[in-house]
Amino acid sequence: MTGARPTFYHQIAVNRRRSVLLTLIVAGLLGLLGFGIGFAVGGDVVYGIPVLVGVVLLTFIVSVGTYFAGDGLVLAASQAHEVTDQQAPQLLNVVRELSMAAGIPPPRVYLIDDTAPNAFATGRDPQHASVAVTTGLLEKLDREELQGVIGHELSHVRNLDIRFTLMVAVLVGSVALLADMFLRFSFWGGMSGRSRSRDSSGGGGVQAIVMLLVLLLAILAPIAARLVQLAVSREREYLADASSVEITRNPYGLESALLKISQDKEVLEVANRATQHLYIVNPIKAFEARAQGLFSTHPPIVDRVNRLRALTGSQPLDPESPDLATLD
């Protein structure tokens, strides 16, 4: 007997739980690394607590600065300009219509002059949110597909995804910064004097073991944190897809839009590695030189489409199909 067909409510609940769990893992890595460095350098548990507190304060200060200035920097880097009803009446009509359905204030709407179809949302909360779309998106998508895309972006706003991913990014950056500082300190022999002092008092063996463990953690933690950050980004995309269906009550528009955007060969010139995770579909194409060596910030399009199809009981796409071979 087959199981019951999943609903968008079920998908939303699952993705939220996974996102919170992944974020706690990154926070745990940061706390463990901070405490371990203090312990390794000082040779006692009491030295780990001040370092841990210092790391928390530094992370908080960086978060506050990025929280208030981040959206303006993203829009400026994307060369986006705010639009009026005269310039894009259908776009603004769809944004207002779906904002009402989502129960949030209409965000400010921006346009990016580029023929590659794509869109992103930014802003620290629904009261200070912006949605940016490319001219290519307006030219190549019909109204139903546009609704699916805008529903996805408004879902990011309503779900506080920008704030959530910002918090994860700051945590990951703090892990990398702390690990780098400790590795440089260790490389230049910062612990040699303390190690000799502990050796003379009989405690050097334990501290040497702790130092090796913390060195290993400092090497592996940034990699693990980055992988978790990418996993969080993918989960929030799944969450926004499901939430878009909740808002529009129509999975077909978003499904068609995802396929059309991902199969488009135009290159979005203003996109870069710092902003690629914001877009509804990864704007950096596999054939571009700048795509080499990148981890995936987005789930595979086939997986996203098949999750949408599962909501309606439609036949899933075959990932091995030649027509889908070029999709991320």
What's the chain's Rg over C-alpha atoms? 23
Distance CA 169, CA 179 (A): 15
The residue among 226, 171, 134 whose CA lies nearest residue 163 is 171
The residue among 185, 133, 181 whose CA lies nearest residue 154 is 133
Known catalytic membership, residue 153? yes
List the catalytic residue out of 97, 139, 144, 153.
Answer: 153
Distance CA 252, CA 302 (A): 14
Q: What is the largest CA-CA distance in the chain?
A: 79
Q: What are the residue ranges of helices labelled H in the chain?
A: 8-42, 45-77, 89-102, 135-140, 143-158, 161-187, 192-200, 204-248, 251-263, 301-312
Contacts of 114 (CB under 8 A, 6+ apart): 134, 135, 136, 266, 268, 269, 270
CA 85, 91, 92, 93: dihedral to nearest 10 degrees?
Answer: 110
The residue among 228, 231, 107, 115 whose CA lies nearest residue 172 is 228
Please identify every residue annotated as catalytic: 153
